[in-house]
Amino acid sequence: MTQSISKTSAVSLIAEAAERLGWQTEVLDEYGYLFELRRPDGARKVLLGGRSALNDAVAARLAGDKHYAAILMERAGLRVPRVARCIAPRHPAMQRYSDRAGVGPGLALAEALGYPVVVKPNSLSHGRGVTLVDDVGSLHEAVHACWALDPIALVQQLAGGRDYRLDFLDGEYLLGYERLPIVVTGDGEATLGALFEALDARFDRPEALLKTPRIAEVLGARDLTWGSVLGAGEVLDLGGPIRNLNAGCTARFLEAIPDALRDQCLRAAAAVGLRHFGVDLKLASLDADPDSAVFIEINASPLLTQIARIGHREEALAAQVRVLRQTLP
C-alpha cells in the first residue's frame, strides 16, 4: 500500500483490504485517486476512487440520477417520495423544452404537498446541496443554489420515519447503519468537544462539525464553543430532518436486518440493475412492515469509509474484502 493514499480516503480502505488479500496497490496519479490492484497471479484491475467496478455503465448512470432511479423503483412497486424536477434554463435540453424550465414544477408540488419540502441536486452525493425549505422564498433560493452545483434541482416530499442506510453485494447484506441526530448531555465537567468525541470518534476536532452550516449556526446562537461546558443534565440537540454522515449526524451500526427488508432492497436494485449498491430509506423501525419503507435514493458506489471511522473499521474492512473478491475474481 503506497503512502500517497490519504489515510482517510475510500481508496485507503480499499488498499488496506487488498493488502489483507495479499494483493498490491499501485497509485497511477498524483492524488492517489487512480490506482491499480494486482494479484500475485498477475490478474489486475484499474479502479477510480471509491467507484464500484461491479455495476455496468447504464445501471451506474441510472443510480446517479435520483429522479430516474426513483421512477424505476416506483415502477417496481416500491414507495418513493413525490418529487418534481426544476431544470435550469441553461440546461441543453431546455433549448427544446424551454416552457418546462425553471422553479415552477417545484413550486406547484410544494403547494400541493404543503411545506416543508426537501430541495436537493439531482446527481450529487454526500449530502451536498440538500436543504429543507419552509416557504416560497426559501424554495426559490434553494433551487438556485442547487443550480450552481447541478443543472437539475429536485423538490421532494419530506418522508417520515427512522433514517437507514443499507449496503448490499450480489443479493447479500454487507453492512448498514441508522443515521441518528447529534445529541449530547452535559455533566458539568466535560467540554463540548469531549462530549462530541465520546459520541462519535469522527468528531475529534472542531472542523469536523463546524463545516456543517446548520450546526455552526446552532452553536453560535447559544454562544457555545468547543471548550464550553454544559451544565449537569443540560442537553444540546443538533438534530435535524436532513441527515448524512458527511453533514452533521452520527450513526448506529446494524449487524443484520430482517430478511423481508433485505428482499425489498433487492427489488430496488433489480429495478435499476445493480449488483453492488446502497439504499437510503425511511422506515418506522427495522421490524416495521417493509412495504411501508420509503426509498429515498439508491447508490451505485457505496463507500465504507465513514462506518470505519465511527468505530467499525474491522466490519468495514471485511465488507471491502468481499467486494474486492468479486471485483477481481
Interior CA angle at 310 toward 305 and 311, to 5°? 105
Does the predicted TM-score (pTM) go above 0.95? no
User: What CATH number was assigned to the domain covering residues 51-80+160-181+243-302?
Assistant: 3.30.470.20
Judged by average pLDDT, the poorest of 7-11, 116-120, 159-163, 235-239 is 7-11
Domain boundaries, the chain: 10-50+305-327, 51-80+160-181+243-302, 82-158, 185-239
**Cα distances (Å, whole numbers) of residue 157 to 129, 133, 299:** 16, 11, 19
User: What CATH number was assigned to the domain covering residues 82-158?
Assistant: 3.30.1490.20
Interior CA angle at 319 toward 326 and 39, to 5°? 45
- Give the three cell numbers for residue 190: 466535560
Is the predicted pLDDT of residue 206 greater than 90, yes or no? Answer: no
Residue range 189-211: average pLDDT?
A: 88
Q: Is the dihedral of CA 165, 167, 172, 174 positive or negative?
A: negative
Question: What pLDDT does 232 receive?
Answer: 97
- Decide if 51-80+160-181+243-302 and 82-158 have a common fold: no
Residue range 171-178: average pLDDT?
A: 96
Strand partners, 165: 177, 280
Q: What's the pLDDT tens digit per position in 72-117?
A: 999 999 999 999 999 998 777 666 766 678 999 999 999 999 999 9
Question: What pLDDT does 9 receive?
Answer: 73
- Give the three cell numbers for residue 128: 451536498
Q: What's the pLDDT tens digit per position in 243-266?
A: 888 767 899 999 999 999 999 999
Question: What pLDDT does 4 receive?
Answer: 55
- Residue written as cell 449530547? 184
- Name every residue whose Cβ is closer than 8 Å to that of residue 200 and which is 6 or more positions away in sequence: 182, 250, 251, 310
User: How far, in Å, CA of 202 to CA of 183, rounded?
Assistant: 15
